Structure 1
Amino acid sequence: MSVPSIDIKPNTTGLPGIGALENIVGAVLTFGLIAAVAGVAISSIAWAVGANSSNPHVAGKGKNGVLVAGAAAMLIGAANTLVTFFNNAGSSLR
């Protein structure tokens, strides 16, 4: 007994509203980048205040915030590339 071969590929014409959905996702990416910039700014301020007031807890939280916001910006910026990479990797499996 053989297993039938199924070969379905993504398309951009299968459903109405794909263009609108792409615009919404682009807006969400923009909102995420703006939030990451705000996170870096706020965390940097907390880091500076904590360091200058001899408060290591606040300074540490500020450092963590800068790293997390930077990582979030990196992931948001690389979202298209990451999805494309994993889509291509998954479609090459047989």
Structure 2
Amino acid sequence: MDVFPDFEGLSGISELREVAGAVLMFVLIVAVLMLIVSAICWAIGSSNGNYQTATRGRVGVFVALGAAVLAGAGAAWLNWLITVGDQL
């Protein structure tokens, strides 16, 4: 028995895939821009001795990295679930 989700059963599923890909790209671009800005704030705050700016920059760097990891992991997880569903 070969069970696989019927992606063509619903109308508009190809547009949904395009939208999901566009959202993933948008999230990754924003995460990279946030990483750059936060790293600059962290560096400036550390060099000037302003611990509040350095702390906020560091938090921004970690949030940006976390967002990028979660966005990438979401796509990998979805592909894994489709593969597992195909094997059932």
1:85 Cα deviation after fit: 4.3
| TM-score, with length taken from structure 1 | 0.77
Q: Select the structure that is richer in helix.
A: 2
Within the candidate set 30, 47, 50, 1:52 is matched to: 47
- 1:51-70 counterparts in 2 under 5 A? 51-70=46-65
Matched, 1:77 2:67: no
Higher RCO structure (Cα 8 Å, ≥6 apart)? 2
Kindly report the root-mean-square deviation, in angstroms, between the aligned alpha carbons of the 2 structures: 2.0
Within the candidate set 21, 25, 50, 1:30 is matched to: 25
**What count of residue pairs does the alignment treat as equivalent?**
84
Task: Give the counterpart letter for 1:40 in structure 2.
Answer: L
Task: Give the counterpart letter for 1:68 in structure 2.
Answer: V
DSSP-derived class of the 1:12 partner = coil
1:52 Cα deviation after fit: 1.2
CA distance in 1, matches of 2:66, 2:42: 17
Of all paired residues, the percent bearing the same amino acid is: 39
Q: 5+ residue gaps in structure 1?
A: 1-7
CA distance in 2, matches of 1:85, 1:56: 42
| TM-score, with length taken from structure 2 | 0.81
1:1-27 deviation digits (Å, cap 9, x = unpaired):
xxxxxxx96320121110011001100
1:82 Cα deviation after fit: 2.0
